[in-house]
Amino acid sequence: MGAPAAEQSWLGLLAQVKGGGLEAYWRDSESLRCVGGNGSLARRLAEGIGEGRIRLSLPAVSVEQRERDLLVTLRDRTRIECDRVIVAVAPSVLGRIDFRPALPDVLGRAGMGRVVKFLAALSGPFWLDSGRSPNFASDGPVGVTWHGTSGQGGGAAGLVAFSGGRGADSCRAFGAAERVRRYLAALAPAYPGLNDAFTESLFMDWPADPWTQGGYSCAAPGEMARIGSAWRDGAGGVVFAGEHTCPAFQGYMEGALRSGRAAAAQVAAATGLGARRGG
């Protein structure tokens, strides 16, 4: 998880268990993988929209609500007039957009978890030789590990080392020069063969990413009641989407997808446009 238990809303966690289907939550959560990795999901969605209609690496800097429409300004000063605007950025970076009128303060204070990943590329699934599992859990700096490339074929393998909350703080403090050595040392007691199989790694430091400034949303105690339905209600012509707006699947890709469908339906209903089936 992205934060120590004391910093999380129990109501938020219970909403996720209910959203995942109670018993099914424990059985089915995180049980599926995308062939080719999660990026393939984004690529397929982009194909459906039409790549020519998507502008990458060009953030929105302001959203102004005018009498009859909304005006979005991008970093290169492109101005786009809109009937409705769907804002799908994480709450932690809402403050990078100048909303006029301003959004309710409470939205920008929604909690975000701190999570990091160490992606280790390996010559193969070495743990099989010693009959070990790729799933490790500890209260040390690395919280859990898993086989990140299971079912993807090929001889090489990837082991993901995930840390959240205080564990993430510890791993971020390793520093670039010592990082690989410290990670391998943290995993060595469980995986004596790791050093030999290790080829290279990538450290994903989500709290340091200027466009997420965290991992995924992680409601703080009292937050579910404090924010309540504010995400769903929107603000004038602004409609919100993103995993943080979907209490049943907060913190999951499923929440992001469902929120996108809900936002599209909201815009369609408000503007009289027919939502495409399944869209």
| Residue placing its CB nearer to ligand FAD in the complex, 19 or 215 | 215
Q: Min. distance of Cβ 202 from ligand FAD in angstroms?
A: 12
Question: Reduced to 3 states, what is the DSSP secondary structure of residue 117?
Answer: strand
| Residue placing its CB nearer to ligand FAD in the complex, 75 or 181 | 75
Q: Min. distance of Cβ 111 from ligand FAD in angstroms?
A: 14
Query: Contact positions toward ligand FAD, by CB under 6 A?
Result: 30, 59-60, 88-90, 93, 96-97, 115, 117, 206, 211-212, 215-216, 242-243, 251-256
The single-letter code of the amino acid at 77 is R
Structure tokens at 263: 């936002």
| Residue placing its CB nearer to ligand FAD in the complex, 126 or 259 | 259
Distances (CA, A) of 69 to 81, 84, 131, 270: 7, 7, 62, 13
List the 70-74 sheet strands across, edge first.
79-82, 70-74, 60-65, 98-100
| Residue placing its CB nearer to ligand FAD in the complex, 138 or 193 | 138
**Cα-trace Rg, the chain:** 21
Separation between Cα atoms, residue 236 and residue 182, nearest integer Å: 49
Helical (H) or strand (E) element with 181? helix 179-187
| Residue placing its CB nearer to ligand FAD in the complex, 96 or 179 | 96
Q: Min. distance of Cβ 241 from ligand FAD in angstroms?
A: 7
Q: Min. distance of Cβ 75 from ligand FAD in angstroms?
A: 8
Q: Judge whether 191 and 213 are in contact, CB under 8 Å.
A: no
β partners of residue 205? 116
Separation between Cα atoms, residue 48 and residue 45, nearest integer Å: 5
Q: Judge whether 219 and 9 are in contact, CB under 8 Å.
A: yes
| Residue placing its CB nearer to ligand FAD in the complex, 96 or 132 | 96
Q: Min. distance of Cβ 12 from ligand FAD in angstroms?
A: 14
Q: Min. distance of Cβ 273 from ligand FAD in angstroms?
A: 22
